[in-house]
Structure 1
Amino acid sequence: MAVTRNAQKAHKDTAGTKLYGSPSWMELQLESSGFGPIAGVDEAGRGACCGPVTIAACVLPAASLPKLAALTDSKKLTPAKREKLYNVIVDQAVDFNVVHIPAAQIDARGIQHANLSGMRRAVVGLAYPVGYVLSDAMKIPGLTVPQLPIIGGDAAARCISAASVLAKVSRDRLMVELDQRYPGYGLAGHKGYGTKAHSQAIEQRGACPEHRRSYANVAAAHAYWEATQP
């Protein structure tokens, strides 16, 4: 298919650039070839050691959206800008779906399985029928619609960038809630990532139910806590 053969060119043309609220070259080609609507898919929290991995799928209108002019990879945005864009995306999206895969499932099946399972669930759970799926780097198993994984897709395709923001903000908000449920670990600050202070908190308190026990840093810190118990 032409769009697949031209994918690398499209990626080079758009990767690392601001999208200014407009669809990327790749999205425009897909729409004009009759493959729309297009869903973008991305995750947040893959590298954390506490809390879920969160995956979002997002379908945006084909038209330019000036209010999303600042949209890019969510990791390049400040928390305040992400929150602002999140509200705009929710307001202007044709459809979106956010899925949280909990720590227990990550421990049971591994982060890769959890990530791919969540991506499939995010797409399948969309109420709006889509004609094509663009994802950040990973091919999603079990989809019945055509798809294209793009390395660096969260900075190259508007729909993936939007999904990136939805996933990141949704997960960050959940981690603030978990911080209230499990105080003392600093989850609202580091959002479950493996900082020195986080490891020290586990050593002092033991792991909470939201920690990924299969991760080496969590296992080591929890073992230290167990060894200090009377």
Structure 2
Amino acid sequence: MSRWPPRSPIRRAAGLRTFEFALHRHGLGPVAGVDEAGRGACAGPLVVAACVLKPTQLASLADLDDSKRLTEKTREQLYRSVTRYAHAWSAVVIEAEEIDRIGIHVANIEGMRRAIAALDVRPGYVLSDGFAVPGLPAPSLPVIGGDGAAACIAAASIIAKVTRDRIMVAMDDELPGYHFAIHKGYSTALHMERIDAVGPSPQHRMSYRNVAARVVAGTEDDRDRLTG
């Protein structure tokens, strides 16, 4: 992680591009934003995305915001615009099995490193959402509430969220007993009721207490995942 460039004023009139414009003025572009989707879920993968926007603001990206504040329709529209017009973008999928093996925070950090490494352009600076990411190939800064404060992070959050939602909808077809298309793997009452009814699936994160507590007694595969 690096300090913010010295004598670099923050001009709030620039809106969500404030951080990026300030960094570009100091010759620290391209600026990449990185964010994840699925950290708080107890089933399905973690998806981490990185995005570098072009220096000019496109009208089609004017509605960029934290993906959680947007409707599904708006997210899909912005996803198409971001992936079409971004200077570079990437999305990395970390499966439940790897999350169980290394832990969610380590998986998140590793996913951010992989997403930045997968970009077609090497960033001059990286803005991450919420916490520092060691081991990046460029100076970086964590931005609290970054997906609602920096356009490149907001763009990354939309890529991550839409990518993961599509995975969970497809998973619902493969494992129809859990209603993944509705709750997307988060710990809703419906999701917990379905685990109680049919037991955890191979897509559940067995290291999570609320899943581990619902392992069906006598199910050898579930016990092996939990203890292995």
TM-score, with structure 2 as normaliser:
0.90
CA distance in 2, matches of 1:225, 1:171: 32
- Is the CA contact 1:4–1:148 (under 8 Å) kept in the aligned structure 2? no
Shift of 1:225: 8.3
Please, which of 198, 211, 216 is the counterpart of residue 204 of structure 2?
211
Which letter does structure 2 place at the counterpart of 1:154? D
Distance change in 2, residues 1:87/1:219 (3 Å): same
CA distance in 2, matches of 1:85, 1:2: 31
CA offsets, 1:175-229, max 9 Å, x none?
0011111111010010000011111111111111110001111111224685xxx
Identity of aligned residues (%): 48
Unaligned runs of 5+ in 1: none
- Is the CA contact 1:200–1:221 (under 8 Å) kept in the aligned structure 2? no
Residue in 1 that maps onto 2:175: 182
- Is the CA contact 2:5–2:23 (under 8 Å) kept in the aligned structure 1? no
CA distance in 1, matches of 2:162, 2:49: 10
Residue in 2 that maps onto 1:98: 91
CA distance in 1, matches of 2:208, 2:4: 39
- Is the CA contact 1:204–1:225 (under 8 Å) kept in the aligned structure 2? no
Which letter does structure 2 place at the counterpart of 1:136? D
Matched positions, count? 219
Shift of 1:138: 1.7
CA distance in 2, matches of 1:78, 1:10: 30
- Which segment drifts farther, 197-206 or 52-61? 197-206
- Is the CA contact 1:56–1:122 (under 8 Å) kept in the aligned structure 2? yes
Distance change in 2, residues 1:89/1:133 (3 Å): same
Distance change in 2, residues 1:32/1:2 (3 Å): farther
Residue in 2 that maps onto 1:3: 4
Which letter does structure 2 place at the counterpart of 1:52? P
Residue in 2 that maps onto 1:31: 24
Shift of 1:2: 7.5
RMSD between aligned alpha carbons?
2.2
For 1:1-230, what aligned pairs fall within 5 Å after superposition?
3-4=4-5, 10=10, 13=12, 19=15, 24-223=17-216, 226=219
- Is the CA contact 2:75–2:162 (under 8 Å) kept in the aligned structure 1? yes
Distance change in 2, residues 1:198/1:5 (3 Å): farther
TM-score, with structure 1 as normaliser:
0.89
CA distance in 2, matches of 1:25, 1:104: 38
Distance change in 2, residues 1:157/1:225 (3 Å): farther
- Is the CA contact 1:103–1:210 (under 8 Å) kept in the aligned structure 2? yes
What SS does structure 1 have at the residue aligned with 2:36? strand
Unaligned runs of 5+ in 2: 220-228
Distance change in 2, residues 1:101/1:127 (3 Å): same
Distance change in 2, residues 1:103/1:6 (3 Å): farther
CA distance in 2, matches of 1:86, 1:41: 15
Which letter does structure 1 place at the counterpart of 2:25? S
Q: Which runs of 4+ in 1 moved over 3 A?
A: 1-7, 223-226
